[in-house]
Amino acid sequence: MKLEDKKRVLREMVVHRRFEERCYQAYIERKIGGFLHLYPGQEACCNGVMEAARPGYDYVITGYRDHVHAIKCGADPKEVMAELYGKETGSSKGRGGSMHIFDVSKRFMGGYALVGGPFPLAAGIAKGIQMKGGDEIAICFLGDAANNQGTFHETMNMAALYKLPVLFVCENNLYGIGTAIERSTAVVHQHKRVCGYDMEAAETDGQDIEKVYEAAKVAVNHVRSGKGPYFLELLTYRYRGHSMSDSRGYRSREEEEMWKQRDPIYILRDRLIAEKAMTMADYEAMEKEVDAYIENEVIKFAEESPEPKVEELEKYVLADRESQLPWITGKAA
Amino acid sequence: MAEIMYWEAIQRAHDEEMARDPLVICMGEDIGVAGGTYKATKGLYEKYGPLRVIDTPISENSYTGLGIGASFLGVRPIIELMSVNFAWLAMDQMFNSAAKVRYMSGGQLTAPCVFRSAGGAAHQLGAQHSARMEKVFMGIAGLRVVTPSNPKQAYGLLKSAIRCDDPVYINEHELMYNMKGDVPDTEYFHPLEGSEVTRSGTDVTLFGYNISVHWNLKAAEILDKQYGISAEVVDLYSLSPLDREGIRKSVSKTHRAVVVGEEEAPVGVCSEVISVINEECFFELDAAPVRVNSALVPQPYNHGLEKAAIPNAEDVVAAVLKLFGKA
C-alpha cells in the first residue's frame, strides 16, 4: 500500500472504531434500540479488502454487522447513525435499523439479518453483472458461522458452476454468536471448505491491513478478470460480544487481551510511526479530531433529525402504485 | 383468439417477454435442456441459451436467492419452483429477502422477480407432494400473490407479473397444465389485482380461485338445473391483495356466500375471505357465510382416501343447499 493510502486508511479505521464505540454509548443511553452488532477488532478486514477493490463501484453485501461496510463503500456516517436512531434521514429512512443499512447509490446492497442469507443474493448480484456485461464484481462479507448454513454450500456450488464474478470474504472471528468455532465446526480454517467446489481460496491474517490488502488484490484481480469466484478467509476477532446482550461468558479475558495486542489500528499506527510517517502526537491529535467529528456532526445530525411520519407507515411495502398501474389494472396497451 | 393449453399459455408469456427484454431470464430445476416438468419453458433453452435459461441444481432456497439478487440489478428472473412443496425451502429468500428488501431499504432496492410453482393435489402424489400453500404466501407483506384458473389468466398474469416492479408469486395447479382455453392472439396483460365474475347469479355467491373455480362452475350448473338456485361464481385470481370491493359487490347482490378452496380450512384463504365479508358487508348477509375445504390431514396416498380428502362440486352443492335449508 502507498504511504498516503495507509495514512488515509488509518484515519478511516479510527472513524470506524469511534463510530462503533459511540453506538455502544448511544445504545446504553437507549437512543439506539433493537439489536446492535459492533465491529471493533475487525476493521482491517473490510478496509483491506475494499482498498483492493473499488468502493462505490463494486457491489458489496453483508450480514447484520454492517455499519462499517456501508461507510467504507461511501455511505455518509451521519445517515448511518441517523438510521440507528430510527430517523427519517437515516440511510433506510428509519425502516431498517442497525442490521439493515443500505446505500444503493454507493452500491452497498445492504445488511441482512438471516445468517447466511446474503450468500445467494451476492451470487445473484454477480449474475446481474454477468447479464449486463460490466467489469464490476460482487463482494460478500460474512462471518465464519454463516458457513454452516445450507446457503453456503448451495451458493459456492452455483457460483463456481456458473463462473460468477463474486468474491466471498469470510471474516473468521472464531465465534458464532457465543459458540467457539471448534465447538460448532469440524474445520476451523474456513477456506478449506470450498475446495470441494474447485474454487480458488486463500487465508491470511485479518489484523494486519497490509496483509489483507495484498491477499485481496490477488482475489479481486482473479474475480475481475473473469476467472470465476474466489473465497478469502481473514482471521480476526471481535472485541465486543456478538450483540449488546452478550456478556462474553464463553471466552476468557486473557484471550481477549491477547487479541487486543494485535489490534488492527495499532498495528498500522505503530508501523507508520516506525516509518517516521507520523508521530504519536499526530495520531492522538487525529483521534481527537475524529471524536469531535463524530460528536459534533454525526451524533448531532442523528439527534436533530426528524422521526418518520406515522402516516407513512405503509410507504415502501410495495412499489409506487401509480407507476405500476398498467400491470395492476391490465390496461397496458 | 386461439384455444391453447395452460402450459402453452405460460410458455408463450415467457417467450414473448424474453424476446422483448434481454434482462428477462428464467431459472429452475429441469427447465432448460429437459424443457420443464410441466413443459412451461419448452423450447426456450434452444432459443435463448444457458445464460438466460438456467438449469439450477436442486438447491431451492439458494437459486431463489440468486434470482432475487440478480433482480436487484434490474434483471427480471422468472423463478420456477417445480412443486410448491419445495417452496417451503425457498421461503427464507422469498420472504426475508424479496418481500422485505424494499421496506427495509427505505425504498432503495426492489426485487422485481416472479416466482412460479405448481401447487395443489394431483393424482396420488402423497403427503409431501400435494401441498396447498397459497395461504402462507398471501400473509406476507411486500409480496403479490396471483393464481390463474385458466390459460388466459395463466398467460396474462405472467406477462403482468414480469413487468411489475413488485415480487409476484404465481400459484399454478398440477392438474391444470393440460386444460384448454381461449387466449387472445394479440399481447394481453391480465390485471394483477381484482376478481372476475365468471358466472352471474342472484341467490348465492360461490367464491373460489384456481381449481375451485371449476368446481364452483359445475356446482352452479347443478344448482340451477336441479334446484332452481341462481349461483354467482367469483374468481379471486388475486389473493394478495384480495379484491375487497369485488367481494362486497357480489355479496351485496346475492346476500349469501360459500367460499371454496382446495386448501385445508384453518388459517386459510377462505377464512380470510369470510373475514373480508364480515368487515365489508356483514349487514347484507341473509345467512352466515360458510366454507368448503379439504380435510385437515397430510394428503393420503390411497386413491379413495385422497378423493375423500379433497372437496368437489357435490360438496359445494351440499353446502349451498344447507344454506337454503334444503338439506
Report, as an integer, the average pLDDT of A309-326. Answer: 97
Quick one: pLDDT at residue B326? 87
Cα A8 to Cα A47, A130, A269, B175, distances in angstroms: 11, 33, 11, 64
Residue A174's region, left for phi above 0, alpha for psi from -120 to 50, else beta, is left
Q: What would the pLDDT profile of A17-52 be if each residue is shown by its tens digit?
A: 999 999 999 999 999 999 999 999 999 999 999 999
Rounded to whole angstroms, the Cα distance separating B55 from B46 reads 13
Indicate whether B103 and B234 sit together in one domain: no
Query: Percent of chain B at pLDDT above 70?
Result: 100
Cα B63 to Cα A285, B26, B54, distances in angstroms: 50, 11, 10
**A249 interfaces chain B, CB cutoff of 8 Å:** no
Domain boundaries, chain A: 3-329
Q: Determine how many CB atoms are found less than 10 A away from the CB of residue A220.
A: 22
Nearest C-alpha of chain B: how many angstroms from A214?
29
Catalytic (active site) residue B214:
no
Query: What residue type is assigned to position B63 of the chain?
Result: Y
Last residue of a domain, one of B131, B158, B183: B183
Quick one: pLDDT at residue A309? 98
Radius of gyration of chain A (CA): 20
| B144 belongs to a structural domain | yes
Contact (CB, 8 A) for A50 and A217: no
Rounded to whole angstroms, the Cα distance separating A89 from B177 reads 49
Nearest C-alpha of chain A: how many angstroms from B68?
6
Residue of A nearest to B187 (CA): A333
- The parent domain of residue B280 ranges over 196-323
Q: What would the pLDDT profile of B259-294 be if each residue is shown by its tens digit?
A: 999 999 999 999 999 999 999 999 999 999 999 999
Query: Does A289 score more than 80 pLDDT?
Result: yes
Q: In chain B, how many domains are there?
A: 2
Contact (CB, 8 A) for B212 and B261: yes
Q: Determine how many CB atoms are found less than 10 A away from the CB of residue B221.
A: 15
**A196 interfaces chain B, CB cutoff of 8 Å:** no
Three-state SS at A83: helix
- In a mutational test of the B interface, the residue from A119, A131, A153 whose CB has the highest number of chain B CBs within 10 Å is A131
Indicate whether B27 and B73 sit together in one domain: yes
Indicate whether B228 and B109 sit together in one domain: no
Find the catalytic residue in B8, B60, B264, B272.
B60
Q: What would the pLDDT profile of B1-29 be if each residue is shown by its tens digit?
A: 899 999 999 999 999 999 999 999 999 99
Indicate whether B204 and B176 sit together in one domain: no
Nearest C-alpha of chain A: how many angstroms from B189?
5
Look up the CATH number of the domain holding residue B312: 3.40.50.920
Q: What would the pLDDT profile of B252-267 be if each residue is shown by its tens digit?
A: 999 999 999 999 999 9
Could you tell me how far CA A129 lies from the centroid of its own chain? 21
Say what angle helices A321-329 and B151-163 make with each other, to 10 degrees.
160
Indicate whether B157 and B283 sit together in one domain: no
Report, as an integer, the average pLDDT of A69-74. Answer: 98
Indicate whether B219 and B155 sit together in one domain: no
What b/e sequence results for A180-219 when a residue is b if at least 16 CB atoms lie within 10 Å of its CB, and e otherwise? ebeeebeeeebbebbeebebbbebbbbbbbbbbbebbbeb
Query: Does B139 score more than 70 pLDDT?
Result: yes
A240 confidence band (pLDDT: 50, 70, 90): very high
- In a mutational test of the B interface, the residue from A35, A58, A127, A129 whose CB has the highest number of chain B CBs within 10 Å is A127
A244 confidence band (pLDDT: 50, 70, 90): confident
Query: Percent of chain A at pLDDT above 70?
Result: 100
According to CATH, the topology of domain A3-329 is: Rossmann fold (3.40.50)
Indicate whether B208 and B287 sit together in one domain: yes
**Strands B257-264 vs B168-173: parallel, antiparallel or unpaired:** unpaired
Quick one: pLDDT at residue A72? 98
Three-state SS at A280: helix
Look up the CATH number of the domain holding residue B127: 3.40.50.970
| B159 belongs to a structural domain | yes
B132 confidence band (pLDDT: 50, 70, 90): very high
Query: Does A162 score more than 90 pLDDT?
Result: yes
Indicate whether B177 and B207 sit together in one domain: no
| B223 belongs to a structural domain | yes
**A162 interfaces chain B, CB cutoff of 8 Å:** yes
Q: What single DSSP character describes residue A103?
A: B
Average pLDDT, chain A: 97
Indicate whether B148 and B69 sit together in one domain: yes
Report, as an integer, the average pLDDT of B73-93. Answer: 96
Query: Percent of chain A at pLDDT above 90?
Result: 97
Quick one: pLDDT at residue A246? 87
| Phi, then psi, of B193 in degrees rounded to 5 | -120, 160
Find the catalytic residue in B129, B221, B255, B280.
B129
Last residue of a domain, one of B136, B152, B183: B183
Average pLDDT, chain B: 97
| B188 belongs to a structural domain | no
Quick one: pLDDT at residue A333? 60
A125/B70 touch (CB, cutoff 8 Å), yes or no? yes
Catalytic (active site) residue B60:
yes
Residue identified by cell 376478481 is: B195
Indicate whether B122 and B265 sit together in one domain: no
Indicate whether B175 and B200 sit together in one domain: no
Last residue of a domain, one of B139, B161, B183: B183
Rounded to whole angstroms, the Cα distance separating A101 from A66 reads 7
Indicate whether B163 and B203 sit together in one domain: no
Residues in B closer than 8 angstroms to A151, CB to CB, are 61-62, 65
Report, as an integer, the average pLDDT of B132-142. Answer: 97
Q: What would the pLDDT profile of B164-213 be if each residue is shown by its tens digit?
A: 999 999 999 999 999 999 999 999 999 999 999 999 999 999 999 999 99
